[in-house]
Amino acid sequence: MSDARPTPRPTVGRPKDPAKRAAVLDAAMSLFSGQGFDGVSMDQIAQAAGVSKLTVYSHFGDKEGLLSAVVRAYCEHEMPMELFEPSPEMPLRPRLMEIAQAFYAMISGPQAIAGHRMLCAPHAMTPQLAQLFWQAGPERIQAGLAELLRRRVAVGELAIEDPDMAATHFFALLKGEPYARLMIGFPADMDDAATGRHLTGVVDMFLRAYRADAS
């Protein structure tokens, strides 16, 4: 089926239907995860969502824009920016644990693993697609944590020279060996208790490295 973009009719002043947008995002996420970006046509996405192809294009512009929107919607659902909002009344360790739990749940779900494998497949990603993916997902999350760390540095709770790098280290540590094993289909024996120990260990190590009163 052709992905030639149809000529949209004038829609000045016509509000877009949020229910149709959500249906397209759900369909695209499922199809991209199962068949890869190149293996799915806009016709297939429209059919799975129960909308016209014109509707898909009017909401997302093109397939690259749709992929970016899928990644952003997934990350915003699993890790809303409220996790990084200023909450000086909330102690730092519980806040980092909350972020750690949300992040690990987000990256370890079956759809997330399938999607990441799709993105890592040979010839699956052009530089443009890679940039869209990074900006829609990892960059946004890392920026949110880096800003939270800067605020905690400003009040003297943390001592961090480069909050952006510290944020990338935090998320890399959270992935660790368990995520690497999930990616190759050889999952670690991680029940809820083991996952909790892994995340707690990362948060405690991070705080030992960066807490202002650490010796």
Q: What is the pLDDT of residue 25?
A: 96
Chain mean position to CA 11: 31
**What's the confidence (pLDDT) of residue 5?**
57
pLDDT, tens digit (0-9, with 9 covering 90-100), for 5-59: 554 444 444 557 899 999 999 999 999 888 888 889 999 999 999 999 999 999 9
SS3 158: strand
Average pLDDT, the chain: 88
Given a cut of 80, whether residue 125 has pLDDT beyond it is no
pLDDT for 116 equals 84
Whole-structure pTM value? 0.84
Residue 110 has pLDDT above 90, yes or no: no
Domains, in order of start, for the chain: 1-61 (1.10.10.60), 79-210 (1.10.357.10)
Provide the greatest CA pair distance for the chain. Answer: 66
Cα dist. 38→4, 74, 97, 147 in Å?
14, 20, 37, 36
pLDDT tens-place string over residues 134-148: 988 999 999 999 999
pLDDT of residue 6: 54
Given a cut of 50, whether residue 193 has pLDDT beyond it is yes
Residue partners of 71: CB distance under 8 A and separation at least 6:
132, 133, 136, 137
d(CA 173, CA 81): 21
Say if CB 199 and CB 104 are below 8 A apart: yes
Q: What percent of the chain has pLDDT over 70?
A: 91
Q: Which residue has the higher pLDDT, 132 or 139?
A: 139
Query: What mean pLDDT comes out for the span 167-182?
Result: 95
Alpha-carbon torsion angle 175, 178, 182, 185, nearest 10 = 150
- Does the pLDDT at position 177 exceed 80? yes
